[in-house]
């Protein structure tokens, strides 16, 4: 790993110049883990948690996709990207754990890691928001990049 790509030689923030780079197919996958207490998990029916506001996971998927599309507006030095795809899956993986997996892709001069991370983060926050009336013991435990490909260096955790 080199230095901070978003700092110039004087240490000032800058957007990375990708003008000379070649556009390649890029994919990134991120995850968020959310702990839900028993009183929230008791609302699980089939593959979703039902609340007066509607299906929690379905709403979280839509929120995550919307957030991925706005990543360049939310994170100051991210390039605005027109995604080719954003896919989000939410599964109950343990007694009180929900796993959110987001995958983003496009053909461009820069990667889509931040879009995948933003999608997973906002999906997790949406689950929190929709379930907080039941409990404030909800914990977003982990948001991390799982893999990326198509750029200068591939990554897989």
Residues with active-site annotation: 129
Question: Could you give the dihedral angle defined by the CA atoms of residues 49, 53, 58 and 63, in that order, rounded to the nearest 10 degrees?
Answer: -130
Task: Name residues whose C-beta falls within 8 Å of residue 89's C-beta, 6 or more positions apart in sequence.
Answer: 100, 101
User: 124, exposed or middle or buried, with CB in 10 Å at 0-12, 13-18, 19+?
Assistant: buried
Categorise residue 54: left if φ over 0, alpha if ψ from -120 to 50, beta otherwise: left
Q: Do residues 132 and 34 make contact, with C-beta atoms less than 8 angstroms apart?
A: no
Q: What is the 8-class DSSP label of residue 14?
A: -
Task: Name residues whose C-beta falls within 8 Å of residue 53's C-beta, 6 or more positions apart in sequence.
Answer: 59, 130
């Amino acid at each position: 790993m080199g230095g901070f790509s978003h700092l110039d030689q004087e240490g000032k923030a800058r957007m990375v110049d990708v003008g000379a780079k070649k556009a390649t197919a890029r994919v990134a996958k991120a995850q968020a883990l959310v702990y839900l207490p028993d009183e929230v998990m008791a609302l699980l029916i089939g593959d979703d948690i039902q609340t007066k506001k509607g299906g929690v996971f379905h709403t979280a998927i839509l929120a995550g996709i919307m957030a991925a599309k706005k990543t360049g507006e939310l994170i100051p030095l991210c390039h605005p990207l027109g995604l080719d795809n954003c896919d989000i899956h939410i599964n109950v993986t343990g007694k009180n754990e929900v796993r959110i997996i987001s995958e983003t892709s496009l053909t461009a001069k820069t990667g889509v890691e931040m879009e995948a991370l933003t999608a997973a983060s906002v999906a997790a926050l949406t689950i929190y928001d929709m379930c907080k009336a039941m409990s404030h013991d909800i914990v977003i435990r982990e948001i991390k990049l799982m893999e990326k490909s198509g750029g200068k260096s591939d990554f897989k955790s």
